[in-house]
Amino acid sequence: MTSLSMLVLAAILDTVPHEYVVDCGPAAVPFKYKMELELVARDGTSLSLPFITPADWDPKDSPGDFIILLRREGWVARSGPGNTFIVMRTLKGSPVRSVSVKSEADWPKVRWVPLPPAKEPKK
């Protein structure tokens, strides 16, 4: 795929209602690893949270940890199903534009999830 077509695809995907689901994984990673969570909002606000995680860190409470740490840095996230959380917007109200993770482990993973169309109210 050429860089131009990637740009076009990215522009199209950006118009589809979607959210970013960050999955902290089903089980603990058995080794110490570095990871970095990077967020960009539509108004250009951005944040990079670099972590060092010990071996066997239980992912069960991780979504709650991330939600607290993100709130302290001016971002709003909510918990999702399982060990996931969903990045929504900045505290100032700018919707999230991108979420990415760099990690030495397989986790966390970020999923781009299109939102179903809103139901029309019953007449």
Partner 1 sequence: MSMMFRPQLLALEARDVPAAFSFQLPDGTTGHGTFATPAGVDAAQASQALAVSDLTVVQNGLEYVVQPGATAHYAYGALLGVTATATGPGAPVVLANATVQVGGYVAPVAYDAADTQQSFTLLNGTTGTVSYQIPWELVDFDLASQTLSLANFNLNLAGSNFAFGTANYTVPPTVLFEFGEFKGVNVAINTTGPGFAYTSVVLTGINAVVTAVGGLQFFVAAPPDRTALVIDFSGAGNNPLGYEIRVRADTQAGNQADISFKVAANTSGGVLRDLIYTVLKDKGFDVERSGDARLIVQSKKKDDHLVRVRFDGDALQQLGAIKARGVNVGTVTPKLNIRGAE
- Residues near partner 1 (CB under 8 A) are 3-4, 7, 34, 36, 38-40, 44, 46-54, 56-58, 60-61, 64-65, 68-69, 72-73, 98, 100, 102
Choose between 30 and 73: whose C-beta lies nearer to partner 1: 73
Rank residues 53 and 84 by Cβ distance to partner 1 and give the closer one.
53
Cis peptide before 114 (omega within 30 of 0): no
Find where tokens 């959380």 sit: 85
Phi then psi for residue 119, to 5 deg, are -70, 140
Q: CB nearer to partner 1: give 48 or 93.
A: 48
Structure-token pair, residue 82: 């399982």
User: Nearest distance from residue 36's CB to partner 1, in Å?
Assistant: 7
Geometric angle at alpha carbon 51, from 50 and 57, rounded to 5°: 160
